[in-house]
Structure 1
Amino acid sequence: MEIKKNVNYRDEFVIGERWQVFEGDVNVSSMSVNTKDSRYMGNYIKTGLIGGIGTPVEYRRRSYVRKMFEEIMLEVPERGWAVSMLHPFSFPYYRKFGYERISDHLVLEFPMQTLDFVPRCPDFVPVNTEKQQLDCCRIYEKFAEDKNIMFRRVGKDSFPIDPGSGKKYYIYYVSGEPIAFAQTQVENYYSINRMISVNLNLHEFGFVSVKGLFALLGFLRMYEGQLESVKIHNAAMAPQLEMNLRYYNHTKYTVYPDIAARITDFPLMMQGRRWPDDSGSFAIRCIDPQLPSLDGVWQVEYSDGKCETRKLDCGREADLTLPVTGLTQLLYGYYEFTPENIVYLPGAELKNPRSDLFRVFRKMENGLFEHF
């Protein structure tokens, strides 16, 4: 068996590879390995993305995928990843490699008429120039600043003039300043002698103020008469949007477990966090048999908005012990953890209910428009 690694793409922020397992001349399994910058508490951290995993049915159950994951874990230190992410077809399967759920996909569907609480906004314009594309980048960067996972987007190609499949970006300005954008798609079909409405699809959006959010909702109303319903394809990272909808019983909420991740470098994750100005300290033991560099007890001391992290001797007692799966959910704030509920996490052992870590790790907004 041989694993061949083919680098197929590289630029300032993205490194792309295709890994293929060969038995002789036969490609029996493969996956993609990419590196991107993703948001974490207002900063960017280097993120390993795993995708495109596939093995023909006649070659399955031979541990080819496991061997690729074992190989990639050996390369984590030199790649400088703080975290690795993937879209799992099975959460239990990838949990074996330390990956756990950190983000969901929230789809919202509602009748167009339920937006009657906001005035129509006719002032969005199609994104047709390079300046407008770059202005979309500006909105997105501000919108994504406090939303974990959102990928870095730079340059006009991040917001193409023609995204394809009938999609189109629109942008909204106030006194020359860009404050909201939307990527919409009309979905309907022809029947007998007219077009029948299916959905106004909102695939991507961004806003930098309350005015921008209400302008966005008002822009959706401009499709009234043409389309009868709205489908927002993912609002998980923007509870501000959901909290402003009014007709709860008329809205369909569908949650899909979406992204799984595993911490790969604890100090890098701590460097990426925002820290309070007051002082505190805590110790966490991570259990990770697949990544020795992460396994062990970590001491964190913080003050004046900064932190210091160091690894302690294995015999030292920790405030909290977690497997890497639980540590990942803690660091990404998937739940609102308290001393009372964290003990229910599989493998958790709490020694110090008064630990400062409960002041630091809070529930956070996680989400991503793209599929990688």
Structure 2
Amino acid sequence: MIIRALREDEAYKAAMADALAFQILRDIEQKKKDGRLGNFAVGAFEDDGETLMGKIEVCPFQTNFYGEYVKAMCVGGVATRPEYRRAGCIRRCFEYLFDAADRFSWEISYLYPFSYAYYRKFGYERMTDSYDMTVKMRSLAHFERRTDFVLLEREEQRQELKTAYLRFAADINGMLYPDERLLPGHGTCDPYQTGRNTYIGYENGEPACYLTFECNSPEVEVHEFVFTTPASLRAMLGFLRTYDAQADTVKLHRVALDSPLFFVLNELIDVRAELVLNTMGRAVNVEKLLRRVPFTADCGEFSVSVVDPQVKRNNKIFDFACANGKANISTRETGEYDVRLSIQAMTQLLHGNGGFELKNAAYRDGVEIRNQDGAERLFKAFPKRSSMIIEHF
């Protein structure tokens, strides 16, 4: 088996793997003529170096991590031709990518899983859960109707979406930077062909919120909603009231688990929230991410040992000294420690979400507590943070 990056002229091989793995239609001959790889891709080839058995594609986006945008390995297009399954193709591709992470400056990785158990084998853990929330229109009756929103109709208006999005995303880990590849996926400029509308709300002349939705009576389905202030959230809900003659309910996708929607809705008896497990994530470079975390609690000294079977550089003992709102972090290879964490557990701790706390640490695999006092200081030190990824990749 040979593991290497796919060439641009091998886009048709990736299309063949997708077609056979997922039973989807692809025009292979056309792909041979004009196909180009849209993303960086790594493949497992037979010993001839040309016959593709399986592959992984990577979208090299930037993701928000405590207010900084860091380079992320966003994994998609994981496919193995059926006749090569159980041969270790994907495992070998992941090994290649983790080894290449420093070269590409990837610090964290995300993916949409087909199986949580499968991707946990490669160090991933559930990361950006959300709710699909259904609200009866009558529950919005206490919001003032708003008709001062502006329809998105021109491409140049997308910059206003970007302004609101970046303000919304500022304190949410995981949010992807809306660069030239991702920004076109936010909102729609052609409601007359797509059936979807994007409207922008303003405060003091500046874009403060936007929402993309479609009205299929008796329901308004909101695919994306972004707000930056309490007033803009209420204004957006007031705008949705303009559809109360056409719809009985509003369904909102990708509602954060800690969304302030729960505070502003008047009658929660009319709300149905369904938990949706979205992306998984894993720290690719633990030390770099640790040095980006804004430790503010004065928690004293503690140590944590990280166990990562796939990424050897992460297997260290990290010593913390937290005082005066700062954390001094040093590393060593061996010795005593307060807590040992698997890379899955460490990733959730770094990300500040996932419900991973000291009180439930004993329930999960990959956690060993040797010093209770040190463990208490460890979990107190790491801040809690909202997490969300809106885009699909």
Asked whether the two chains share a fold, i.e. TM above 0.5, the reply is yes
Corresponding residue for residue 80 of structure 1? 105
2-structure distance, mates of 1:354, 1:79? 38
Asked if 1:300 corresponds to 2:329, the answer is no
8 Å Cα contact 1:335/1:363 also seen in 2: no
Corresponding residue for residue 362 of structure 2? 343
- RMSD (CA atoms): 2.4
1:30 to 52, 55, 58: 55
Corresponding residue for residue 200 of structure 2? 171
Q: Deviations over 1:155-208 (max 9, x none)?
A: 664645238732232111123122111111223xxxxxxxxx142111111111
Asked if 1:261 corresponds to 2:281, the answer is yes
2-structure distance, mates of 1:40, 1:63? 32
1:19 to 42, 49, 52: 42
Query: Once the 2 structures are TM-superposed, how far is the Cα of residue 110 of structure 1 from its aligned partner?
Result: 2.4
Asked if 1:218 corresponds to 2:238, the answer is yes
8 Å Cα contact 1:278/1:304 also seen in 2: yes
Question: Structure 2 matches for 1:100-115, cutoff 5 A?
Answer: 100-115=125-140
Query: Is the partner of 2:291 in helix, strand or coil?
Result: helix
Query: Is the partner of 2:53 in helix, strand or coil?
Result: strand
Identity across matched positions, percent = 30
Query: Once the 2 structures are TM-superposed, how far is the Cα of residue 238 of structure 1 from its aligned partner?
Result: 5.6
Residue range with higher mean Cα deviation, 211-220 or 261-270: 261-270
2-structure distance, mates of 1:26, 1:313? 41
Question: Structure 2 matches for 1:312-327, cutoff 5 A?
Answer: 312-314=332-334, 316-327=335-346
Residue range with higher mean Cα deviation, 63-72 or 332-341: 332-341
Say if 1:138 and 1:86 are closer, same or farther in 2 by CA, change over 3 A.
Answer: same
Query: Is the partner of 1:81 in helix, strand or coil?
Result: coil
Query: Once the 2 structures are TM-superposed, how far is the Cα of residue 210 of structure 1 from its aligned partner?
Result: 0.6
1-structure distance, mates of 2:369, 2:70? 28
Amino acid at match of 2:351: Y
8 Å Cα contact 1:105/1:257 also seen in 2: yes
2-structure distance, mates of 1:233, 1:112? 16
Amino acid at match of 1:360: A
Question: Structure 2 matches for 1:235-314, cutoff 5 A?
Answer: 235-236=255-256, 239-276=259-296, 278=298, 280-303=300-323, 305-314=325-334
Residue range with higher mean Cα deviation, 72-81 or 155-164: 155-164
1-structure distance, mates of 2:195, 2:314? 46
More strand by share: 1
Query: Is the partner of 1:309 in helix, strand or coil?
Result: strand
Asked if 1:93 corresponds to 2:118, the answer is yes
2-structure distance, mates of 1:136, 1:238? 23
8 Å Cα contact 2:63/2:173 also seen in 1: yes
1-structure distance, mates of 2:179, 2:57? 22
Query: Is the partner of 2:130 in helix, strand or coil?
Result: strand
Query: Once the 2 structures are TM-superposed, how far is the Cα of residue 278 of structure 1 from its aligned partner?
Result: 4.6
Query: Once the 2 structures are TM-superposed, how far is the Cα of residue 231 of structure 1 from its aligned partner?
Result: 1.1
Query: Once the 2 structures are TM-superposed, how far is the Cα of residue 146 of structure 1 from its aligned partner?
Result: 0.8
Asked if 1:369 corresponds to 2:384, the answer is no
Asked if 1:147 corresponds to 2:172, the answer is yes
Query: Is the partner of 1:103 in helix, strand or coil?
Result: coil
1-structure distance, mates of 2:143, 2:119? 43
Asked if 1:6 corresponds to 2:27, the answer is no
How many residues in Structure 1 have an aligned counterpart in Structure 2?
Answer: 356
Query: Once the 2 structures are TM-superposed, how far is the Cα of residue 336 of structure 1 from its aligned partner?
Result: 4.6
Corresponding residue for residue 191 of structure 1? none
8 Å Cα contact 1:339/1:353 also seen in 2: no
2-structure distance, mates of 1:167, 1:254? 23
Asked if 1:354 corresponds to 2:373, the answer is yes
Residue range with higher mean Cα deviation, 257-266 or 123-132: 123-132
Query: Is the partner of 1:137 in helix, strand or coil?
Result: helix
8 Å Cα contact 1:337/1:361 also seen in 2: no
Q: Deviations over 1:184-243 (max 9, x none)?
A: 1223xxxxxxxxx14211111111111001001111111121222211111026611233
8 Å Cα contact 1:38/1:150 also seen in 2: yes
Amino acid at match of 1:364: R
User: What TM-score do the two structures reach when normalised by structure 2?
Assistant: 0.83
1-structure distance, mates of 2:236, 2:185? 20
Residue range with higher mean Cα deviation, 20-29 or 203-212: 20-29
Q: Deviations over 1:70-129 (max 9, x none)?
A: 211211222222211111110001111111111213101122222112121111111234
8 Å Cα contact 1:132/1:171 also seen in 2: no
8 Å Cα contact 2:203/2:232 also seen in 1: no
8 Å Cα contact 1:279/1:302 also seen in 2: yes
More helix by share: 2
Query: Once the 2 structures are TM-superposed, how far is the Cα of residue 322 of structure 1 from its aligned partner?
Result: 0.7
Query: Once the 2 structures are TM-superposed, how far is the Cα of residue 305 of structure 1 from its aligned partner?
Result: 4.9
2-structure distance, mates of 1:305, 1:138? 31
Asked if 1:120 corresponds to 2:140, the answer is no
Say if 1:371 and 1:289 are closer, same or farther in 2 by CA, change over 3 A.
Answer: same
Structure 1 residue ranges without an equivalent (≥5): 9-14, 188-196
1-structure distance, mates of 2:77, 2:308? 25
Structure 2 residue ranges without an equivalent (≥5): 9-37
Amino acid at match of 2:283: I
1-structure distance, mates of 2:362, 2:248? 47
Query: Is the partner of 2:126 in helix, strand or coil?
Result: strand
Amino acid at match of 2:76: G
2-structure distance, mates of 1:7, 1:112? 52
Amino acid at match of 2:45: F
